[in-house]
Amino acid sequence: MTDGGRQAGRPLDCRPARDSLGRTIRYWLTVLVVRVLVRSYLRLRVEGLERLPAGPAVLSFSHQNWADPFILIATLPLRPRLFFFGPKEEDMRRGLRNRLISWSGTAVPYRPGKDDLLGATRRVAAVLAFDGRLAIAGEGRIHAGERVLLPLNEGCAYFALRSGVPLVPVAINGTGWLAFGRTVRVRIGQPIWPEGRPTRERIAALTGGLAQALGALVTDFPDRPPPGPLGRWLTELFNEWPEGVRPDR
């Protein structure tokens, strides 16, 4: 395929269409179910909610677990609508998780190959023009350790500069182990307002500032002991460790 807006022979249904009643219903149903399930298993604490810009924004969140996007769905305001950049899959019709993400209408998918860069950029621009919030796992992969932050990709800064929207650091702590009744904290930092065009120097500088802000948000959360068998199973249910197994900490 040479068109970044198509995959596996079918057009990607990822544009936030204002007139799609079915897509809107699927989104609200997803939010309702996720909030009930997440709040039934975990205790959620949100800090800094007043810092969220009222309009479109790029949210860069720390990433320890497959459940992090669902934590954000369960804690952030219903409006503006929340979208997620990823997952990076060749075909979003493969696998139960990918099919559910596509069905919910919350994903802005992209293929791992560089040939999809233009298509992904257009899809991101459509979300932000729609006044949506785009959430991105800036580290690009999960990690172990509540106070750990891996080097950030430059995509968050690039999209924020290109669309002229604020970049917001969001720390998610407590998902290292998903134990019943434990508290998960979502801490929202001060928005970073980009200036100028997305040059290499501005992207690097904005990424550095984001990493510093996000790192400061996670420094005070303690690592917790592993839970029982159910919690361990749920924690690793959809985790994809680049090392093949969970790193020892």
pLDDT of 58-88, one tens digit each?
A: 999 999 999 999 999 999 998 999 999 976 5
Could you count the other beta carbons within 10 Å of the beta carbon of residue 26?
Answer: 16
Phi/psi for 19 (5° steps) reads: -100, 10
For the segment 5-61, what is each residue's pLDDT rounded down to a tens digit? 333 333 344 444 444 777 888 899 999 999 999 999 999 999 999 999 999 999 999
**Total of domains in the chain:** 1
Structural domain containing residue 203: 42-82+114-235
User: Using 50, 70 and 90 to split pLDDT, how confident is the model at 2?
Assistant: very low
CATH assignment of the domain containing 143: 3.40.1130.10
Radius of gyration of the chain from its Cα atoms, rounded to whole angstroms: 17
For the segment 199-218, what is each residue's pLDDT rounded down to a tens digit? 999 999 999 999 999 999 99
244 assigned to some structural domain: no
94 assigned to some structural domain: no
8 assigned to some structural domain: no
**Cα 176 from chain centroid (whole Å):** 16
245 assigned to some structural domain: no
Mean pLDDT of the chain: 87
217 assigned to some structural domain: yes
125 assigned to some structural domain: yes
144 assigned to some structural domain: yes
240 assigned to some structural domain: no
User: In the sheet that 183-188 helps form, which strands lie side by side, from edge to edge?
Assistant: 43-47, 183-188, 167-173, 57-61, 133-137, 82-88, 107-110
- The percentage of the chain sitting over the pLDDT mark of 90, rounded to a whole number, equals 68
pTM above 0.85, yes or no: yes
Which region holds residue 147: left if phi is over 0, alpha if psi is between -120 and 50, else beta? alpha
